[in-house]
Amino acid sequence: RPTPTVPATPQTGGTLTFGRAAAVTSFDLNNEITANNAFAIDKVFEPLVSFDTEGALIPWLASGYAVSDDQLVYSFTLRDGLLFSDGTPVTAADAKFSLERHLEVGGPLPLEAPITDISAADDHTLAITLKHAYTPFLSELSGFSNGIFPKDFAGKPEKEFFARPIGTGPWVVQSWDPSGDTTFAANPHYWQAGKPYAASLVYTVVADDTQRIQQLQAGQLSGIEEVAPATISELSANPQVTVSQLGSWAVEQVFFNTRNEHFADRQVRRAVAAALNRDGLTQATTFGAAQTVKTLIPPTIRYSADVKALDNDLAAAKTELAASKYPDGFSATLLIASGDSARAQEAQIIQEALKPLNITVSIEAIELNAFRERFKAFQYDFMLNSGQSDAPDPNGLISFQADPDGFSNSFWTHYTNPKVTALMKAGRVTPDGEERAAIYAEIQQILADDVPYIPLFNTRNVMASTASVHGLTPRINGSVLFQDVWIQR
């Protein structure tokens, strides 16, 4: 049948139903990090600055900003006419309160910048003063955890406020089940005129990736996240489906619990890395939707470096294991989240690759939220997970995955290397350029040698929608803001 004509201008109204892998459990932006919450929080709260599809920083709630010559004072000018979703004006005092609350809370994505003062000169001007220069500051501010909300939580207790949050984002929480679906209504006071186009947005939890695709093809869902790589070609050939892809800040990795008796041994970790064929694993599980990498900083983020890494060398693997405390092998359990067919296949490939080393791998697949609880409690041997940056500067990933004193204890590996810690701190204060590039190159090489985790591949963000849905495209951080998405009716 003929392809329907697409209207020249977006149509308004209708409900977008989006299939997601896990439920939203919290809207407290300063205390959350996982994608199930982060990509709901960013619908409600917005930061002063953001980033475009290439990761370049852009003004957002601030119409502009200026930095003093000594790099110590950052001045932001709020957009004219900004309103919260309850219709009240957004002021610099609100921004001051929001950022100071984040400083007080800390949380999993803390403001690491050495902030000494935040002041509101007037309703539209915010000044942030640093103790010393801090190169990734604007990048840090662009993350979802630095969204702006009303001063004093709009007069409500914190718990009550975050149950029905008020922000500047395109969407307002209408109903929310922490173990099920979340429904958003369009924010009538959104600062981007005429947006969002849809009247409502529903996050529907469909944990299994195959079921998400089936429900999309049946028209039960408007769109889905995390399209299984094996299905991309099939979906792309379906005229009733639109597949959208963009580069990402995510790297699939094997993570080792270095508190585990076996994986505390550096030679054991190096043996595992040498036994894996990263190119083969990437091709077998992603069908060209990802590129092999050997460092946790993906090529989409500045200062990703070429490193020498142990890979696809069984002889080297056996030599490393022979030098370890466990030359005859051992048994270990590989923990993964269920419902992800590609990750299940990765686990099986790793299981087979380690057999020649007499490392017997049991695969344990559990529900996503339970999986997160387990690894955060260090109750795992090794696991498959994805390292995802929330901002375009390498400091975020390095801090999260290599800072033993940080919130995540080096992404729940408990990896500690004083040299890496010192270089990480130097990278924060070194201006962008060759010297900073050299710092991050050295960090990445040390991590490749110590192998607290094995970077496997840089995924692409892949979303799919029905043909009647237009503009559903991923952001480089894996989210979709939905204000530009509309339904043809």
CA atoms within 13 A on the CB side of 444: 25
Helix or strand holding residue 43 (H, E)? helix 35-44
Element (H, E) at 204: strand 200-205
- The three-class DSSP label of residue 138 is helix
**Which residue in the block uniquely carries the two structure tokens 């791998």?**
361
Q: How far is CA 59 from CA 56, 383, 410, 443, in A?
A: 10, 38, 31, 31
Report the distance separating Cα 380 and Cα 337, nearest Å.
12
Quick one: pLDDT at residue 2?
46
User: In Å, what is the CA distance from 78 to each residue of 121, 147, 369?
Assistant: 12, 13, 37
The confidence score (pLDDT) of residue 6 equals 84
CB contact set of 435 (below 8 Å; sequence gap of 6+): none
Residue type, 353: A
pLDDT at 4: 59
pTM for the full model? 0.94
One pLDDT digit (tens) per residue for the chain, 489 residues: 445 578 889 999 999 999 999 999 999 999 999 999 999 999 999 999 999 988 999 999 999 999 999 999 999 999 999 999 999 999 999 999 999 999 999 999 999 999 999 999 999 999 999 999 999 999 999 999 999 999 999 999 999 999 999 999 999 999 999 999 999 999 999 999 999 999 999 999 999 999 999 999 999 999 999 999 999 999 999 999 999 999 999 999 999 999 999 999 999 999 999 999 999 999 999 998 999 999 999 999 999 999 999 999 999 999 999 999 999 999 999 999 999 999 999 999 999 999 999 999 999 999 999 999 999 999 999 999 999 999 999 999 999 999 999 999 999 999 999 999 999 999 999 999 999 999 999 999 999 999 999 999 999 999 999 999 999 999 999 999 899 999 998
Amino acid in position 464: A
What is the spatial distance between Cα 478 and Cα 388, in angstroms, rounded to a whole number?
A: 9
pLDDT in the model for residue 61: 98
